[in-house]
């Protein structure tokens, strides 16, 4: 008796997610494009049906992708966005028209990709991973929706990342820092070499400020592929910035023109620089200046959940997915932007991250740290987080709580007891996602 095909059953998003999670997890990396390329070839190469801006870097990729998406939507384009990981709903990874893909379209994308994936799985000693499947689903869903442009965030690195089967005419490179060193290499140059792999022959690459050595490597890669490299601070840049209301106002010297007094509904100097790169990326794609009114509307309304996301209330709660020292440094600077106040931080981090480096960056701007865990099996136990925190902050500023929900309660009570106190939740995308659910978001 033959086994029913996977598509013979009625599927919903929960069942599709369960099946995807049964594959290799995102944290298990096999550096090859062979499997994802084979799948997309069987699908008819859907990633060739639209133009794309491909985004890499150590921090800020999701926010930059969201800004690119917002600008292009305001200009009337039909836009797809692929980002990872998600905070609370797997459908966040695939956005079409500025909204998460519908449950029906998500299931349909899985069903469209599955026969090709099963064919590749049968012929390969390594089955497609969770991430490879979601990339294939995104590219297929974008094609089915007839989008004009995709904003695609790299998952990790660039050269061997599954998203890199797309031939994007524009590559955007955010600052290169130290993260995922076990996969990408121990130095910034090793990591930059991987990230440079998204710069395709003849493409235009825009990069944030980098160290001189990293910039030299990126330029050499671009030259070898007959691509152009435009550098922040030389070819485009931030010419003005001031904190204002629910975000900030920025002025930008773009590749194609100057943009004066653009509202940006995100906090932090790092988000201002992310906006600069998003603007340059869109200019590179359009090969012209962005209409100022459209840019102001786009960035004045953009949202990036879990990235210095300020929830109003008493006490205020700030959610930020910083998970490496560079991200924590940007977070600390942004907290200073918001104004000095007693800050009780809830921290849960993964075991493969530089927790000590993050805590050093946060120490000057937090009053107390509540050390806890998130629901991932990779999460450090609270006693390990607390041990690291005591070495940086001293025992009197560290509290250990086993459960994230209880940690949020503890932090809220402590912040409420301090005049003008606020709660900060950070350390991991998973931590912030779970906190958002617990807070009813």
d(CA 269, CA 241): 8
d(CA 292, CA 113): 40
d(CA 217, CA 32): 22
Is the separation of the CB atoms in 158 and 197 below 8 Å? yes
Q: Taking residues 244-251, what's their average pLDDT?
A: 92
For 83-143, where are the E strands, in sequence order? 94-96, 99-100
d(CA 376, CA 107): 25
Q: Is the pLDDT of residue 7 over 50?
A: no
Q: Is 267 left (phi over 0), alpha (psi -120 to 50) or beta?
A: beta
Pairing assessment for the beta strands 309-311 and 258-264 based on DSSP bridges? unpaired
Distance from the Cα of residue 408 to its chain's centroid: 24
d(CA 359, CA 356): 5
Q: DSSP labels for 68-89?
A: HHHHHHHTT--EEEE--S-SS-
| Tens digit of each residue's pLDDT (9 = 90 or more) over 293-343 | 999 999 999 999 999 999 988 999 999 999 899 899 999 999 988 888 999
Q: Which two tokens stand for residue 62?
A: 């999701």
| Chosen CATH of 309-438 out of 3.30.450.90, 1.10.240.10, 3.40.50.970, 3.90.190.20 | 3.90.190.20
The radius of gyration of the chain's CA atoms, rounded to the nearest angstrom, is 22
Res. 5 pLDDT band, cuts 50 70 90: very low
Q: Which helix (H) or strand (E) holds 224?
A: helix 212-224
The residue ranges of every structural domain in the chain are: 6-301, 309-438
Strand order in the sheet with 309-311: 309-311, 316-319, 422-426, 343-347, 368-371, 398-400
| Greatest CA separation for the chain | 71
| Tens digit of each residue's pLDDT (9 = 90 or more) over 386-438 | 999 999 999 999 999 999 999 999 999 999 999 889 999 999 999 999 999 99
pTM (2 decimals)? 0.92
- Domain 6-301 belongs to what architecture? 3-Layer(aba) Sandwich (3.40)
Pairing assessment for the beta strands 309-311 and 316-319 based on DSSP bridges? antiparallel
pLDDT above 70 covers a percentage of the chain that reads 95
Output the pLDDT for position 72.
Answer: 98
Collapsing DSSP states into helix, strand and coil, what is residue 264? strand
| Tens digit of each residue's pLDDT (9 = 90 or more) over 206-222 | 999 999 999 999 999 99
Q: Which two tokens stand for residue 401?
A: 């709580």
Closest CA to 153 of 219, 86, 203, 218: 86
Domains 6-301 and 309-438 share a fold: no
Sign of CA dihedral 269, 270, 271, 277: positive
Output the pLDDT for position 32.
Answer: 85
| Tens digit of each residue's pLDDT (9 = 90 or more) over 262-295 | 999 999 999 999 999 999 999 999 999 999 999 9
Q: Is the pLDDT of residue 112 over 60?
A: yes
Q: Which helix (H) or strand (E) holds 405?
A: helix 404-417
Q: What average pLDDT does the chain have?
A: 93
Q: Which residues pair with 204 in a beta bridge?
A: 170, 228
CA within 13 Å, CB half, 145: 31
């Amino acid at each position: 008796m033959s086994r029913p095909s996977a598509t013979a059953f009625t599927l919903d998003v929960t069942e599709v997610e369960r099946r995807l999670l049964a594959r290799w997890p995102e944290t298990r990396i096999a550096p090859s494009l062979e499997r994802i390329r084979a799948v997309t070839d069987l699908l008819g190469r859907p990633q060739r049906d639209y133009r794309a801006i491909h985004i890499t870097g150590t921090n800020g990729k999701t926010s930059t992708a969201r800004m690119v998406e917002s600008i292009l939507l305001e200009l009337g384009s039909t836009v797809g966005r692929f980002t990872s990981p998600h905070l609370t709903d797997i459908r966040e990874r695939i956005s079409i028209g500025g909204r998460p893909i519908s449950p029906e379209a998500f299931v349909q994308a899985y069903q469209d990709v599955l026969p090709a994936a099963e064919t590749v799985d049968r012929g390969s000693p390594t089955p497609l991973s969770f991430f490879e499947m979601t990339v294939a689903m995104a590219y297929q869903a974008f094609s089915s929706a007839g989008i004009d442009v995709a904003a695609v965030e790299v998952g990790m690195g660039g050269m061997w990342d599954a998203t890199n089967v797309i031939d994007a005419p524009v590559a955007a490179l955010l600052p290169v820092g130290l993260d995922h060193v076990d996969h990408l290499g121990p130095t910034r140059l090793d990591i930059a070499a991987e990230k440079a792999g998204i710069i395709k022959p003849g493409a235009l690459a825009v990069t944030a400020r980098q160290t001189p050595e990293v910039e030299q490597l990126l330029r050499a890669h671009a030259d070898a592929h007959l691509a152009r490299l435009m550098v922040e601070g030389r070819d485009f840049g931030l010419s003005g910035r001031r904190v204002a209301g629910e975000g900030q106002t920025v002025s930008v010297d773009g590749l194609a023109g100057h943009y004066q007094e653009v509202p940006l509904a995100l906090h932090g100097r790092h988000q201002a620089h992310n906006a600069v790169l998003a603007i340059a990326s869109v200019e590179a794609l359009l090969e012209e200046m962005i209409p100022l009114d459209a840019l102001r509307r786009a960035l004045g309304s953009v949202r990036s959940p879990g990235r210095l996301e300020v929830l109003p209330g008493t006490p205020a709660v700030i959610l930020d997915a910083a998970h490496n020292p560079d991200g924590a440094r940007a977070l600390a600077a942004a907290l200073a932007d918001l104004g000095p106040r007693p800050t009780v931080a809830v921290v849960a981090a993964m075991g493969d991250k530089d927790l000590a480096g993050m805590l050093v960056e946060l120490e000057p701007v937090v009053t107390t740290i509540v050390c806890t865990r998130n629901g991932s099996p990779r999460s450090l136990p609270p006693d390990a987080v607390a041990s690291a925190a005591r070495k940086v902050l001293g025992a009197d500023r560290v509290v250990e709580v086993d459960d994230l929900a209880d940690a949020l309660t503890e932090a809220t009570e402590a912040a409420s007891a301090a005049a003008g106190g606020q709660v900060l939740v950070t350390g991991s995308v998973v931590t912030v996602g779970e906190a958002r659910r617990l807070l009813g978001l």
